[in-house]
Amino acid sequence: MKSTYLFTTFIIIGMLSLGCEYTKKHDYLLRTVKGDFNEIGAENGYVNSSGEMVIDYGKYYHCVTDTFRNFAIVYTKSGKIVGIDRGEHELYEVFVYDNGPDPLSDGLFRIVKDGKIGYADRNGSIVIEPIYQCAFPFKEGIAKVSKDCNQLQDGEHYQWESKQWIFINKKGKEITTAN
């Protein structure tokens, strides 16, 4: 009798844990668009896996992220590109690159807080706090950054200039001076 009770308890706990894992894998929102094309300016929103509207059309100017798990990148109505969590709290601004959000490079993208640049991962978690005035994308595990640099206008583009470039790894640890 006792062994039947233990076996039944074991089966129930196992089924519950599988159910939790299934729910976790299927807990996401999908971008939906009013109209034929998903372009900037088209009304976007997010629905859950049951098709219920969770974030209404027009709440954001544009929804960049198509599958919203932990965080999403959206354009606010004021034109900022920000990362939001599932509670729709703004986490940070996303660095603007080539008129859009900074793309993932080596698993990280640049973010901005209080005018300083840092890095977040594909899950939206900040992995290197925003402390740099200038910061290039990661390539092969290394990024060139500076806490003291100038932005120079070059036609419609700009470039950064610094006498104090350093290289950092993906944990934010300084590797060597780049000068």
- Quick check: is 25 in a domain? no
User: 114 in a domain, yes or no?
Assistant: yes
Domain that holds residue 165: 95-179
Give a yes or no: residue 7 inside a domain: no
What tens-digit pLDDT sequence spans the chain (179 residues)? 555 444 444 444 444 444 444 445 568 999 999 877 777 778 999 999 999 999 999 999 999 999 999 999 999 999 999 999 999 999 999 999 988 999 999 999 999 999 999 999 999 999 999 999 999 999 999 999 999 999 898 888 889 999 999 999 999 999 975 55
With a threshold of 0.75, does the pTM exceed it?
Answer: yes
Give me the number of domains the chain comprises.
Answer: 1
Contacts 24+ apart (CB under 8 A), 148-151: none
CB atoms within 10 A of CB 26: 9
Instruction: Report yes or no on 86 lying in a domain.
Output: no
Asked if the structure places residue 8 within a domain, the reply is no
Is the residue at 173 inside a domain? yes
116 belongs to a structural domain: yes
Residue 107 belongs to some domain of the structure: yes
E strand map for 76-173: 81-85, 90-94, 96-97, 100-101, 108-113, 116-121, 126-132, 134-135, 143-146, 150-154, 157-161, 166-168
Query: Are 113 and 94 within 8 A, CB to CB?
Result: no
